[in-house]
């Protein structure tokens, strides 16, 4: 984590309601630059909603979200260029080749060194030889690796990962972990949601537990090996409350 750097994400009194249903309830959260945070919680806890608001894909009902000092809660504007987003949906076009997908996003982000960056990323995710194949011919693991390349194409300072392991077999999941671990080394701030804290615990240093739209625990992952059982106990406690 970068010393004395301003926080990458500052969330203050963030609430989001869908009609009468409250998805997020006055959330306060600060994530330091370079910090790696795991967001866990049961289904419907508000993890994806929180991530989508930080990613500027959804607007909050109340409260503010700042990314690298820019308020993104009422329209992201230029701050979007600092955010990378990876979810179980690839956000790729199946009717384009891998290279065409990356070229499209590179143009959208206004990258200068487009071709070199695309080739570098294709090599990094092991898809150089399949670069001219349509994405619809790819396996789920290959799609997710290409989605990682798309998410980090513009060298974002903040990477948001929404259940990135969903639907991946163990080999593909291992490959994704290796990719993300390499990314973490570059000092990228990470915020990821997961249902499997044991697997993603190695990537992160802090865990935030959400339940019913509220933060019920926030602290270091600490002993990663014991965290899953603590998490299970918290979930059981929350659900029986």
Are 85 and 58 a contacting pair, CB within 8 Å? Answer: no
Asked if residue 167 binds another protein (CB under 8 A), the reply is no
Provide the minimum distance between the beta carbon of 63 and another protein in the complex, in angstroms, as a whole number: 18
Asked if residue 193 binds another protein (CB under 8 A), the reply is no
Q: Which of 44, 81, 131, 228 binds another protein (CB under 8 A)?
A: 81
What angle, 0 to 180 degrees and rounded to 10, lies between the N-to-C axes of helices 98-108 and 140-152? 20
Site for another protein in 42-61 (CB under 8 A): 55-59
Provide the minimum distance between the beta carbon of 75 and another protein in the complex, in angstroms, as a whole number: 8
Q: Which of 33, 73, 87, 211 binds another protein (CB under 8 A)?
A: 87
- Residue span binding another protein (CB under 8 A) among the ranges 36-44, 83-91, 171-179, 225-233: 83-91
Which of 196, 184, 227 has the alpha carbon at shortest distance from 88?
A: 196
CA 44 to chain centre: 17
Asked if residue 105 binds another protein (CB under 8 A), the reply is yes
- Between CA 10 and CA 75 the distance in angstroms is 16
φ, ψ (nearest 5 deg) of residue 9: -130, 130
Whichever of 66 and 99 has its CB closer to another protein, that residue is 99
- Between CA 190 and CA 204 the distance in angstroms is 8
């Amino acid at each position: 984590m970068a010393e004395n750097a301003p926080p990458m994400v500052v969330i203050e009194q963030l609430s989001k309601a869908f009609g009468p249903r409250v998805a997020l309830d006055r959330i306060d959260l600060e994530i330091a630059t370079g910090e790696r945070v795991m967001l866990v919680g049961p289904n419907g806890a508000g993890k994806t909603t929180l991530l989508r608001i930080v990613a500027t894909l959804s607007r909050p009902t109340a409260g503010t979200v700042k990314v690298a000092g820019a308020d993104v809660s009422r329209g992201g504007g230029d701050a979007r260029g600092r955010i990378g987003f990876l979810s179980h949906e690839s956000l790729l076009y199946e009717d384009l080749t891998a290279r065409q997908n990356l070229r499209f996003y590179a143009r959208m982000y206004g990258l200068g060194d487009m071709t070199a960056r695309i080739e570098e990323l294709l090599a990094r995710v092991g898809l150089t030889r399949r670069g001219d194949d349509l994405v619809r011919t790819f396996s789920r693991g290959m799609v997710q690796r290409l989605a990682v390349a798309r998410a980090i194409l513009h060298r974002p300072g903040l990477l948001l990962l929404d259940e990135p392991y969903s639907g991946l077999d163990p080999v593909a999941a291992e490959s994704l972990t290796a990719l993300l671990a390499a990314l973490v080394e570059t000092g990228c701030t990470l915020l990821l949601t997961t249902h499997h804290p044991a697997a993603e615990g190695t990537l992160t240093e802090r865990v935030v537990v959400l339940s019913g739209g509220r933060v019920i625990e926030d602290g270091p992952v600490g002993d990663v090996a014991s965290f899953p059982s603590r998490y299970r106990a918290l979930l059981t406690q929350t659900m029986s409350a």
